[in-house]
Structure 1
Amino acid sequence: MNYDAKIETARDTSQDPALEAESVKDARSRRRVLLIVAAVVLAMIGLWFLLHSRSGEPATDAGAAQVPVVTVASPGRATISGEITGTGSIAARRELPVGSVGEGGQVVSVLVDAGDWVKEGQTLAVVDRSVQAQQVASLAAQVDVAAADARLAQANLDRALKLVERGFISRADIDRLTATRDAAQARVDVARAQLGEARARNNRLNIVAPEGGLVLSRDVEPGQVVGGGSGVLFRIAQGGQMELLARLSESDLAKLSVGVRAEVTPVGSDRTYEGQVWQLSPVVNEQDRQGEARIALPYAPGLRPGGFATARIASGTLVAPRLPESAILSDEKGSFVYIVNKDGRVERRPVKTGLVTAEGIAITEGLTGTERVVLRAGGFLNPGDAVKTRRAEQGG
């Protein structure tokens, strides 16, 4: 009886639904844990194989993406025309100051104005000469009186010479009459000289142009009293010729010579005027270490004395590589550029620069022109860096 009871109790327990559901839930949890552990193990194994399989490759894609790309160009060799730029003021090449050189007087009329062209000897202003004219008339009358006296003395001498042969007049009388005739003739010469002097003084009353050219300024008006101390009344540019007084450093002056071509552009104008250097300053200012290059210019309405202008002066040519300013770097060791060698790595190359033009800077030493030169961003590179290159649109 007890045995049967135990069997019945066991059957009742195995057939309990709650116990059976809990048992199924535990089995599922263990299975899920096992699957997760297996997945983690497989992932670790896969990662190990991935890392070891790529450890022998030269570079990863991420590493390749970090190599910088630089723009390079081979400059070649070109004929470079040197150019020096300077600024200065426009002036008359030969300025003639004109004033009153006579006794002076009141100005009656002014015949020219600033901007007019005049010829040599042309009257610029007329000075009143009413008093001087009367003096000339008086002196002319004195010439006539002296001439009459001279004619009378000559006639007396001629008559005495006819009488001396007859013994009516002595030789002493002849000598006295001859002296009287000579004195009368001398008085005629004096009177004529005084008349000529008066006329010359009157001619100097008028203010005339000493040379032909362009009148730059007029500082006299009708009614003004002028004289030797009146100063400059007119200024004339001889022949209308102009010049630019270009201020240059002593190093630039050393590169120039008389006769070189220059282009001058006045401030506020887009027109350029051709000229040439006709004189270089023999001295250099001690304060700013600059001198003057005088550039001769033919007359043109756009060239106004006193105006400011810029000059571009040719300073010779040479054949050399040429690079933009962005490609040339400098430090305490001097100027240098970066070039890319055949292995794709950056190398430092010391250079010496020469002429500076609008197209670039000439390289006189350090390059042959066939190298691949880094044009930009050289300041972010170091010797030995690996780079990728890209040709400039306008390579050498």
Structure 2
Amino acid sequence: MKPVAKRRKKMFVLAGIVITLALAVIIMVMMGGIEAETAQVRTGDIIQTVEDTGYVQPATKYDLQALQNAKVIQVSVDTGQIVKKGQALVVLENLDLSMQITDTRSQLNQTTASISATQAAIDRTQLELKNAAGNLERARELYAAGAMTAVDFESARLKVETLEQSIKEQTQLLESARAQESGLNQSLQNLNLKERQLTMQSPVDGLVLNLPAKQEQVVNPGTLLASVAVTGQLEIKADILSDDLGEVSLGQRVKITAPVLGSKILTGEVMEIYPQAEEKQSALGVIQRRVPVIISLHDSANLKPGYEVKVAIETSTRHNVSIIPREAVRTLKDGGREVMVVKDNRVEHRLVKTGIGDRENIESTGGLQAGEILIRDGSLDLKENTRIKG
């Protein structure tokens, strides 16, 4: 036999086998149907959520910043340390301020001494004036009686005038010195206040959350030295996509999960929604518009500031409604939705209306009845009236 004839014979044999297998499959389908996982339309509750990642942060935090140019000379605590209100955290040094305080105190001491000396001089002059005024009265009587010359009388009168002018000048000096003293006292108070600002104290009983201050570090006004958080008061900040924010409102219930919590689910509620979106870059490099949302925690369990968590904001709830698996529904080209109902072991394509949904299920608002059976995988290409194994 020639080689060409042999090849043809083999091809006919293979074609026969393929046709036989295909016929066998068709017969099997017609006799027993196709195996497919099904699900039942059930009645229950469904909760629609907006889910995203959030981060735990203190509900109340205080950032302590340098208020003047200075140098760190002492860091008295460590990050994570529990501190008391008023406890020193960081001590700074400002040599220029120290010199100003020393100079101001020296000027104040000199002014105080000058005030004392001027007051003593006024007191002495007032005594002299009192005596001179008495002498002038006697001189006036003697002059009137002709017992004193005009020269002596004029001398007594000039003595009184001179002393009165001296007291007036000394009083002006005293007032000026007292004004200077008041100004120096005010300056010293301000300088002492700035000196107290060099010791950064904890404003509350709390936890040292951040401590960027380093020994011998030179700082400028506004430099962050330490952050203290009130212990036991935590919240979650989640950046929600602006497209999802329309469904989020204050007071909505939130479920919080995290690997550190294990199977435990915490609850909270939406406490604050920022008024403005922020531009964020996703892990894939996509620029997104996100809005920060603050979530209060009813119980923080073992969460700590900085932990990453998953939040599910419950935006809508339906009770006692028809529920079907989300994967059972497929979207048609015209935007309609369809499921495959199994009726009398055969597939029936049916249009349905849907409502809210969660990760796994979706609400059926029309086209289905509780108890009906559906093909769970809506992506299967099953023709109308296809037989399904019972």
Residue type of the alignment partner of 2:80: G
Alignment partner, residue 214 of structure 2 = 221
Contact 1:264 / 1:312 at 8 angstroms: preserved in 2? yes
Answer yes or no: is the 8 Å Cα contact 1:328–1:336 preserved in 2.
Answer: yes
* Structure 2 SS opposite 1:321: strand
1:110 aligned partner = 75
* Matched residue count: 324
Question: Which region of structure 1 is more displaced relative to structure 2, 375-384 or 326-335?
Answer: 375-384
Question: Partner of 2:115 in structure 1?
Answer: 150
Shift of 1:196: 2.1
Q: What are the within-5 Å matches in structure 2 for residues 4-43 of structure 1?
A: none
1:260 aligns with 252
Residue equivalent to 1:288: 288
Q: Which residue of 2 aligns with 1:200?
A: 193
Q: Which residue in 1 is equivalent to 2:147?
A: none
Kept in 2, the 8 Å contact 1:99–1:228? The answer is: no
2-structure distance, mates of 1:135, 1:352:
80
Residue in 2 that maps onto 1:348: 349
SS state at 1:288 partner:
strand
Number of the residue aligned with 2:32: 66
Give 2:173's match in structure 1, choosing from 180, 198, 222.
Answer: 180
- How many angstroms apart in 2 are the aligned matches of 1:240 and 1:268? 17
Alignment deviations for residues 50-94 of structure 1 (CA, whole Å, 9 cap, x no partner)? xxxxxxxxxxx9998335577766534323222232124444456
- The residue identity in structure 1 corresponding to 2:295 is I
Q: 1:117 to 1:62 in 2, by over 3 A?
A: closer
Check whether the contact 2:72–2:90 (CA below 8 A) recurs between aligned residues. Answer: no
The aligned counterpart of 1:28 is: none
CA deviation digits over 1:20-41, x for unaligned, max 9? xxxxxxxxxxxxxxxxxxxxxx
SS of the residue corresponding to residue 154 of structure 1 reads: helix
Separation of aligned partners in 2, 1:177 and 1:63:
125
Residues 95 and 235 of structure 1 are in contact (CA less than 8 Å); yes or no, is this contact kept in structure 2? yes
Question: Matches of 1:243 and 1:208 in 2, distance apart?
Answer: 25
Aligned pairs for 1:123-142 (under 5 A) are 123-128=88-93, 136=101, 139-142=104-107
Give the letter aligned to residue 154 of structure 1: Q
Distance 1:284 1:191, change over 3 A: closer
Q: Which residue does the alignment assign to 2:18?
A: none
Normalising by structure 2, report the TM-score: 0.68
Contact 2:249/2:270 (8 A) holds in 1: yes
Give the distance between the partners of 2:71 and 2:308, measured in 1 at CA: 39
Tell me the CA shift for residue 322 of structure 1. Answer: 0.7
Larger mean CA deviation between 151-160 and 257-266 belongs to: 151-160
The question of whether the paired residues in 2 share the 8 Å contact of 1:353 and 1:362 is answered with: yes
Whole-Å separation in 1 of the counterparts to 2:59 and 2:247: 23
Q: Which residue of the partner structure matches residue 78 of structure 1?
A: 44
The 5-angstrom pairing of residues 44-59 of structure 1 reads: none
Task: Kindly name which structure, 1 or 2, has the bigger radius of gyration based on alpha carbons.
Answer: 1
The alpha-carbon deviation at position 134 of structure 1 amounts to 6.9
CA gap 1:131/1:299 in 2 versus in 1, 3 angstroms: farther
Do 2:61 and 2:229's aligned partners in 1 also have CA atoms closer than 8 Å? yes
**Superposed displacement of residue 321, structure 1:** 0.8
Residues 176, 211 of structure 1: CA spacing in aligned structure 2 closer, same or farther, 3 A cutoff? same
Is 1:245 the equivalent of 2:237?
yes
**Offset at 1:240?**
6.3
CA distance in 2, matches of 1:111, 1:311: 38
- Which amino acid counterpart does residue 376 of structure 1 have in structure 2? R
1:361 maps to what in 2? 362
Q: Secondary structure at the match of 2:122?
A: helix
Find the counterpart in structure 2 of residue 169 from structure 1: 160
- Alpha-carbon distance between aligned partners in 2 of 1:125 and 1:289, rounded to the nearest angstrom: 39
Give the C-alpha shift of residue 332 in structure 1. 1.7
SS of residue in 2 equivalent to 1:351: strand
Residues in 1 aligned to 2:98 and 2:278: alpha-carbon distance in whole angstroms: 55
Structure 2: tracts of 5 or more residues without a match: 1-26, 137-158, 281-286
Structure 1 residue 387, shift from structure 2 partner: 5.5
Partner SS state of residue 199, structure 1: helix
In the other structure, the counterpart of 2:21 is none
Q: Which runs of 5+ in 1 are unaligned?
A: 1-60, 390-396
Correspondent of 1:232 among 201, 213, 224? 224
Show the counterpart of 1:338: 340
| Cα-Cα RMSD | 3.7
